[in-house]
Structure 1
Amino acid sequence: MSPSALYSGTVYHERFRPTQHRFSYQIHLFWLNLDELERLESSVKHFSFMHRALVQFRSTDYLGIHNGNVKQAVLNKIVQLGGPSFKPAASDNGTADMQPACEVCMLGQLRTFGMYFSPVNFYFVRPAGASLFTHMLAEVSNTPWHERHYYLVDMATQDDTQKAFHVSPFNPMDMTYKWRISQPAAKFAMTMDCHQQDRDFSAGLQLHRAPLTSQSLKAALFKIPSMTVKTVTGIYWQALKLWLKRTPVYSHPNN
């Protein structure tokens, strides 16, 4: 079982064409085993998934669900995208256990001080008894449109994905995503390169893991009180820089 944790480190974006531009920020992201929420509720001060708190895992913030189980919503979305169905496990007497035969962990942002926006959350799925995560579901959100889209990545093959969702007005739609994703462990790295004919843009994470405790949560909030504020501010600040560099702008395809 992968215990819940805090990942801290760097997110970076680098643009190669037609405008050169690079930035990086220090961030923290939560690694939540979705079977551990009740334990975290009782053991981590200022965290809750049932009530308002300084840091809250609110199920309605994820996967567009209005209520219910985020773990099951992840599994349902994987099936909708053509991925495998994680069936209940067979017990020793040949009957089926009630719990899905898999582990789902989320790497993403939580509601902090009542505010929430996350440009992307990642859900890693591992079958029962497996040592490696087999699939990653990326939940991508855009601003100011507040739309969502989902990409499913097989961790074994990490096949290229055609872009199907408008996020940055400085990237066209006709792009291909090339993924490089490590297995979540003491260190975690992810790179997503965006290609037309050559590599035009790259985004990535370089993170290290620490246990999620009352003390580590307090330290993370002291360093970055609100990832939501930092994220949204950074998005518009970097957009202004790109605009001043006269980077071509692509309108939302539905406009």
Structure 2
Amino acid sequence: MEVFYFLGSIIFTSTTSFILSIVLFLRRLLLPSGAKHTSEYVSLYEGTVSHERRHPVRHYFWYPVRYALFDLDHATNVPPNHFSADEARQICETNGPVLLLTIPASVGYEQNPVSLFYCYDVEGSSTKLKRCIVEVTNTPWGERVSFSFDPHSVDTVAKTLQVSPFMDMFGNWSMRTTAPEDNITVTVGAKHPELGNYMTAILKLRKVSDKVATDPYLFCWLMPHKVVIWIYWQALQLWWKGLHFFEHPKYKNPNYREQCVFRDNKIQGNQSVGKQAETETINIGTSHVAVKTHSHSFIWREAKWPWK
């Protein structure tokens, strides 16, 4: 039954995107000559995403991407379905600006494997990047996990989301990012207890000149659609190479999230083997956050239709 729901969602999304694309370009044509949509509170970037899988088979690919960076305190028409500036500040315990790097939903469709919040602290006259939050969304389920990390070092966190059906839930991620300036580089390393450092993903972006910058939603037109096509194309190649298909852990292990937090505590050296992970639950807007006593905060968002 889920297959029919999935096919139905493809047809619905395609029809909606076609109609909204016409509306988008008509709106652009009707704007006064020389009118601009971008402001000092939105910056546009383009670049590439690359993945290198070393085990259990070798597989490399890259594809072009476009992102937008929003100042959440001042930008208008901010993408929905993300934390607000105040929520991000609460998670990271900061008091300054919050910038969101993301692929905005385009003509009715959202597909964004990774978004990042850059949270700053203000001390006197200086503003310094203190913490980041990464939002990781899996395909095809549309689940999301968010967690904070230190951008100034290679911060290691337990794997907390089934991002690919071609890898199990064991292991950890190592996160690092540069501050969002003229260039942005985000590096994610994946390590497995048996396979070692089996994968590296790198996002490299450069800022687009203000002279060619336009409406971020026009700049990122069909970007989510292209991303999902590339994801499924690479999945088909991995399947063709004979990789084992892992069922989502929620079907066999309903407590897998608690176990992920327990493993993260062990990674940080806070928890002895056999002891329960120490966490507390606090409210972030309408979400519930499992807060580790040491380094990371985890927020899970449930799967969307038709994967509920």
- TM-score past 0.5 threshold: yes
Provide, for residues 130-170 of structure 1, a one-character-per-residue CA deviation record: whole Å limited to 9, x for no partner: 44311110111112222111121112344211101111111
Q: 1:29 to 1:220 in 2, by over 3 A?
A: same
| Matching residue within 71, 85, 90 for 1:71 | 85
TM-score normalised to structure 1 length: 0.74
What corresponds to 2:222 in structure 1? 226
Of 108-117 and 238-247, the range deviating more from structure 2: 108-117
User: SS state of the match for residue 164, structure 1?
Assistant: coil
Amino acid aligned to 1:162: A
Amino acid aligned to 1:244: W
Confirm or deny that 1:123 pairs with 2:117: yes
User: SS state of the match for residue 107, structure 1?
Assistant: strand
Of 152-161 and 29-38, the range deviating more from structure 2: 152-161
What corresponds to 1:187 in structure 2? 183
| Matching residue within 70, 73, 78 for 1:32 | 70
Provide, for residues 53-73 of structure 1, a one-character-per-residue CA deviation record: whole Å limited to 9, x for no partner: xxxx342x224xxxxxx1122
Confirm or deny that 1:62 pairs with 2:82: yes
For the pair shown, the structure with the greater C-alpha radius of gyration is 2
Confirm or deny that 1:205 pairs with 2:203: yes
Confirm or deny that 1:21 pairs with 2:59: yes
What CA RMSD, in Å, does the superposition of the two structures yield over aligned residues? 2.2
User: SS state of the match for residue 155, structure 2?
Assistant: coil
Q: Distance in 2 between matches of 1:112 and 1:10?
A: 19
Q: 1:212 to 1:174 in 2, by over 3 A?
A: farther
Confirm or deny that 1:237 pairs with 2:233: yes
Q: Distance in 2 between matches of 1:137 and 1:121?
A: 8
Amino acid aligned to 1:24: W
Q: Distance in 1 between matches of 2:217 and 2:57?
A: 34
What corresponds to 1:66 in structure 2? none
| Matching residue within 220, 244, 249 for 1:253 | 249
Q: Distance in 1 between matches of 2:217 and 2:46?
A: 8
Q: 1:115 to 1:212 in 2, by over 3 A?
A: farther
Unaligned runs of 5+ in 2: 1-39, 252-308
Unaligned runs of 5+ in 1: 39-48, 50-56, 64-69, 87-100
User: SS state of the match for residue 134, structure 1?
Assistant: strand
Aligned pairs (5 A) from 1:130-149: 130-149=126-145
Q: 1:134 to 1:158 in 2, by over 3 A?
A: farther
What corresponds to 1:11 in structure 2? 49
Q: Distance in 1 between matches of 2:227 and 2:139?
A: 11
User: SS state of the match for residue 254, structure 1?
Assistant: helix
Provide, for residues 33-59 of structure 1, a one-character-per-residue CA deviation record: whole Å limited to 9, x for no partner: 112213xxxxxxxxxx2xxxxxxx342
Of 169-178 and 103-112, the range deviating more from structure 2: 169-178
| Matching residue within 134, 152, 156 for 1:156 | 152
Q: Distance in 1 between matches of 2:137 and 2:234?
A: 17
Amino acid aligned to 1:163: K
Confirm or deny that 1:109 pairs with 2:113: no
Aligned length: 208
Q: 1:74 to 1:219 in 2, by over 3 A?
A: closer
Q: Distance in 1 between matches of 2:175 and 2:63?
A: 21
User: SS state of the match for residue 97, structure 2?
Assistant: strand
CA offset at residue 212 of structure 1?
Answer: 5.7
TM-score normalised to structure 2 length: 0.62
Runs of 4+ aligned structure 1 residues displaced above 6 Å come to: none
Contact 1:4 1:211 in 2 (8 A): no
Contact 1:4 1:36 in 2 (8 A): no
Q: Distance in 2 between matches of 1:12 and 1:146?
A: 21
| Matching residue within 169, 174, 180 for 1:178 | 174
Amino acid aligned to 1:151: F
